[in-house]
């Protein structure tokens, strides 16, 4: 079979019959691959932008609150109405990312190495690292090429805690 195809391709090249059709088909295939890659890169950009906004949102809240607990700490300015719990922020992030097409199981957020809902507290001027990892599949390109193209995007942000838990003991 392979020899037959090679022989036939050699005959086409010698006679120059149908060569422009072959070039046209190959050009269309290359164009389709490039177009699929371009679409995937645009989708990656949208997802990266959404994940960047989500990480910045979490980092800002964690820095101002001095972490993320399941309830407001004593002495927090504004009390429980001003405090964002880990589950509230997780719901906010889920809503932000769902608008960009990122499903709930496709990402993870860690505050200081712990999950966002685990309840972490940082005292005044402690360093806090927030990391988000978003799984991504090259959907268009993987339809045209064999194999799975699964990758992940990572966003890292750092901040310092602005809240003093024991305000009376400076």
Per-residue pLDDT reduced to its tens digit, 142-164? 888 887 778 888 889 888 888 77
Stated pTM of the model: 0.74
pLDDT band at 64, cuts 50/70/90? Answer: confident
Mean local confidence (pLDDT), 112-121: 82
Whether the CB-CB separation of 40 and 141 falls below 8 Å is answered with yes
How far separated are the first and last CA of the chain, in Å rounded? 84
Give the other-Cβ count within 10 Å of 58's Cβ: 28
């Amino acid at each position: 079979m392979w020899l037959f195809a090679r022989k036939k391709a050699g005959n086409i090249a010698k006679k120059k019959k149908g060569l422009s059709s072959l070039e046209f088909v190959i050009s269309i295939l290359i164009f389709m691959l490039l177009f699929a890659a371009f679409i995937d890169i645009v989708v990656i950009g949208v997802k990266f932008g959404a994940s960047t906004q989500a990480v910045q949102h979490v980092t800002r809240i964690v820095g101002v609150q001095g972490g993320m607990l399941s309830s407001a700490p004593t002495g927090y300015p504004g009390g429980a109405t001003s405090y964002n719990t880990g589950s509230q922020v997780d719901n906010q992030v889920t809503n932000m990312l769902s608008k960009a097409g990122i499903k709930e199981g496709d990402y993870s957020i860690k505050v200081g190495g712990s999950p966002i809902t685990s309840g972490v507290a940082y005292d005044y001027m402690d360093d806090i690292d927030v990391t988000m990892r978003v799984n991504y599949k090259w959907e268009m390109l993987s339809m045209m090429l064999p194999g799975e193209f699964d990758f992940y995007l990572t966003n890292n942000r750092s901040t310092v805690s602005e809240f003093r838990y024991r305000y009376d003991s400076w």
